[in-house]
Chains A and B, each alone.
Chain A
């Protein structure tokens, strides 16, 4: 493990520094948005958004290579699809409550299927595994800059509307009576979750995003007395699991995403066993 922390500063292994910095910056967004995912109980929606993103990645690759639309990179495709799917799912969950789970389930699979088809029709071989299970050790400076920009965006909007987000999670009817446009803030929250999901793709991959958005905040909810402390614990737990998971995966030469998730899950199970006061 110590070798990992020495190699972070090795100029020949700059990818390790990028991976660590992405993990650090992304942990802030994971901690904040993860808290809202847990208290609003929208992990199923976050899962659907993350799987729809594969459709955006596929579309980005296809348009970039086949139609030579240079600005349409897989990353831009992922961001656009994340926002689009958040808006679509938000609309469905507000106006089609009766069939909410079925619709979300259908979108979940639809987005992924579209992505796989477009990747298949894109010339050249692309291994979808790196998107599905993460590839934090393959990231570059561009990825780091994207994560920093998205992080600033998520943090700024959350700080500005924090009280409104908490109120719609706790008592939506009361918030509405206070003149707050609860539908707007619900959809804004989903868009921020979607942006956070884009950051998570490199770290843990599409398949395990839900775990990273719920496990650190699930542990934090047992330790916390209020929502602000839940967010702080959640950020700290995310930081610990991402950095330690990276170090372990580097040491044992294993994919970083699954190692981070296994580490988080173990801490979560220990928290359930030893902190039973509040079962979640």
Chain B
């Protein structure tokens, strides 16, 4: 039997400015080396759930356990690829410098070590971006940037990789490259992929968690193109929210 690495139980969450829950009574478990999709409509609370798993937001009630502890206590076991990287494209920073940031937090002071550089090279090789090692990060295409950010996430050798809408802003060709790479990575770690497109995740996932205020678990054989809209729009409740707003 596989070990449970994430356990969410009766989770409720709302933002400071809202009078109703963005997430309500969410419960699920994720085991090691599982590939899980989180799907749902825009505004349904998918990114909010991810931020709770990462420890960036705290729920008002319910429990979230990651490797048996509270979220945020194991920063090196969880890697995260954000939906949009907000950065200043004029910062002169190379691909290698970006990937090395994945080694942050290992020690309190000092520059990167030789081992950090080796880990970064290994991660860049794995994500097929080693040839851009010395290129400006901002000069890369959307798909290349995404692979660099995954390489950055991999340098700390995580046990869980969370990707928030990784197909946003990349073309079909790069989508396929990404899916192939994720399939390989799944042998080493659990992967949670957030998407509003079921087709994108359907070929890889063990199951999907539909988030639309509450949560429902569906297995790939239960979902097809015809009933997908019906599933995600069930009890449809779009709640406008800003992920940066403080919680109550």
Which secondary structure dominates where chain A touches chain B? helix
Select which of B72, B87, B94, B111 is within 8 A of A171 by beta carbon.
B87
CB–CB B101/A174 < 8 A: yes
Chain B nearest CB, measured from A117 CB (Å): 38
> Which of A25-33, A176-184, A265-273 lies at the binding interface?
A176-184
Residue numbers in B under 8 Å from A178 (CB-CB): 75-76, 101-102, 104-105, 156
A170 on interface, CB distance cutoff 8 Å: yes
CB proximity of B24 to chain A, nearest CB, Å: 26
Chain B interface: which size bin?
20 to 34
- In contact, B93 and A221 (Cβ under 8 angstroms): no
Q: Are A226 and B104 in contact (CB-based, < 8 A)?
A: no
B88: chain A residues within 8 A (beta carbon): 39, 41, 169-170
A226 pairs with B94, CB closer than 8 A: yes
Which of B82, B111, B136 lies in contact with A163, CB distance below 8 A? B111
**How many residues of A are counted as interface, with CB atoms below 8 angstroms from the partner's CB atoms?**
30
Q: Give the distance to chain B from A69, nearest Cβ to Cβ, in Å.
A: 36
Annotate B33-57 by CB proximity to A: 1 below 8 A, 0 otherwise. Answer: 0000000000000000000001110
Whether B112 is near chain A, meaning CB under 8 Å from some CB there, is yes
Give the residues in chain A near B94, CB-CB below 8 Å.
Answer: 225-226
A159 to B55, CA, bound (A): 29
Residues of B within 8 A of A41 (CB): 88
76-99 of chain B: CB within 8 A of chain A = 76, 78, 80, 82, 85-88, 90-94, 97-98
Contact of B56 among A169, A177, A179 (CB under 8 A): A177
Nearest Cβ in chain B — how far from A228, in angstroms?
Answer: 9
Question: Are B82 and A169 within 8 A (Cβ)?
Answer: no
Q: Is the CB of B56 within 8 A of A160?
A: no
**How many Å lie between the Cα of A174 and that of B75 in the bound state?**
10
What per-residue 1/0 map shows which CB atoms of B96-126 lie under 8 Å from chain A?
0110111011000111100000000000000
Whether A225 contacts B87 in the complex (CB less than 8 A), given A161-B109, A177-B56, comes out as: no
Does A87 belong to the interface (CB within 8 Å)? no
| B104 / chain A contacts, CB cutoff of 8 Å | 163-164, 167, 175, 178, 180
Least distance between A163 CB and chain B CB atoms (Å): 6
> Do A170 and B105 have beta carbons less than 8 Å apart?
no
Interchain CB contact under 8 A, B101 and A225: no
B162 to chain A, nearest CB (A): 10
Question: Does A166 interact with chain B (Cβ within 8 Å)?
Answer: yes
CB distance from B39 to the nearest CB of A (A): 23
Inter-subunit contact A173/B56 (CB<8 Å): yes
Question: Given the complex of chains A and B, what is the CA–CA distance between A226 and B112 in angstroms?
Answer: 15
Q: Does B60 have its Cβ within 8 Å of any Cβ on chain A?
A: no
Contacts of A221 in B (CB 8 A): 90, 92
Residues of B within 8 A of A176 (CB): 56
Contact between A163 and B75, CB atoms less than 8 A apart:
no
Asked if B92 contacts A167 (CB within 8 A), the reply is: no
Interface status of A280 (Cβ within 8 A of chain B): yes
Contact A170 B87 (CB under 8 A): yes
Q: In the complex, what residues of B have CB within 8 A of residue A166's CB?
A: 93, 97, 101
Provide the residues of chain A in CB contact with B78, threshold 8 Å.
177
Q: Check B101–A171 contact: CB distance below 8 A.
A: yes
- Inter-subunit contact A278/B91 (CB<8 Å): no
Which B residues are CB-close (under 8 A) to A179?
A: 72, 75-76, 105
Interface residue B134 (Cβ < 8 Å from any Cβ of A): yes
CA distance A159 to B110 in the complex (A): 7
Cα separation A221 to B89 with both chains bound (whole Å): 12
Q: Is the CB of B90 within 8 A of A226?
A: no
In contact, A177 and B54 (Cβ under 8 angstroms): yes
Distance in angstroms between the alpha carbons of A259 and B78 in the assembled complex: 53
| Residues in chain A near residue B101, CB distance under 8 A | 163, 166-167, 170-171, 174-175, 178
- In the complex, residue of chain A having the shortest beta-carbon distance to the beta carbon of B105: A178
Whole-angstrom CA separation of A227 from B111 in the bound complex: 13
Question: Which residue on chain A has the smallest CB distance to residue B94?
Answer: A226
Whether the Cβ atoms of B136 and A225 lie closer than 8 Å is yes
Interface residues of A (CB under 8 A from B): 39, 41, 159-164, 166-167, 169-171, 173-180, 221, 224-227, 229-230, 278, 280
Q: Can you list 28 A-B contacts with CB-CB less than 8 angstroms, sorted by A residue number?
A: A160-B109, A162-B111, A163-B101, A163-B111, A167-B101, A170-B87, A170-B91, A171-B85, A171-B101, A173-B56, A174-B82, A175-B101, A175-B104, A177-B55, A177-B75, A177-B78, A178-B76, A178-B101, A178-B102, A178-B104, A178-B156, A180-B105, A221-B92, A225-B134, A225-B136, A226-B93, A226-B94, A278-B90
Q: A41-B88, A225-B92 are in contact. List 14 more A-B contacts (CB 8 A).
A: A164-B104, A166-B97, A170-B98, A171-B86, A171-B87, A171-B101, A173-B86, A174-B82, A177-B54, A177-B75, A178-B76, A179-B75, A225-B134, A225-B136
Q: Which 5 A-B pairs have the closest CB atoms?
A: A178-B105, A179-B75, A178-B104, A160-B109, A179-B105
